[in-house]
Structure 1
Amino acid sequence: MERFTQKDGITGAHNANAFYRAVTQHHVKIFSETPTNIQGITEIKYQVPTKDRAGNLTGEFKPAIKTKTVYDPKIFTDQKILELGQQASVKGYKDAMASGSGQATAVVDGISFRIYVDKTTGRVRNFHPN
């Protein structure tokens, strides 16, 4: 699932195809694309376009550089990322519950995942390649 706001940029959309669709749809400018040490996992830095008071694009970009880690669905299917993320959630659960933010990082098959736990309910809210 993908969401876009001027403040947060592109959230979700860790599948590279979904991310690049969001880039086109929201007129985002890619600043850099850096492959990680895992084939099929890429770190992308991008900028969000600015809008005027009427909500029209100005042709300029906010100075903040956002970072997104995406996976190539030709190498990692959505199902495989789901399975690896679930394993990472199990592995990093105790650390997330012990952290003040309910977040932790866990590595599975060489891929770093960020996991998010609701500390009140104990449920894993989300995870994504990090």
Structure 2
Amino acid sequence: ILTPNQEPFFTMDHSIVATALRTALDRHEHPVLIHSLRGQQRAGVLVGCLRRLQRWSLAAIFEEYRRYAGPSSSLLDLQYIELFDLSLAQQQSAASPRGGDSGISSGGGQDCPGGEPSSSKKADAAAEPM
């Protein structure tokens, strides 16, 4: 069970969030439904961390979080999303017995607001004469 972020000095367990992210990213586990049983925005934090793995901009992540969290939006949750160590989910995903089929998208566009272009787009841009 994932406990909510609360003052003072009480944050979600990083290992539980990393495990949930690995499950959400593992295409062998799809489809995945992410929801919160208590309505305290834990699902929003998990999705925010997922969006960071998908290389969304923080502005886009925070806007999506606030849109769905409504009046129960929490600055602690936004801080958690921003500061979460993504390497926890990435390292464990790469060590997955299923080969780490993470489904992490690094491309820009509709699926990745504010994200970086994919490596192939970067290579194409670098190859173009100025």
Normalised TM-score (structure 1): 0.25
Q: Which has the higher contact order (CA 8 A, sep 6+)?
A: 2
The structure carrying a bigger strand percent of its residues is: 1
**Where is the helix percentage greater, Structure 1 or Structure 2?**
2
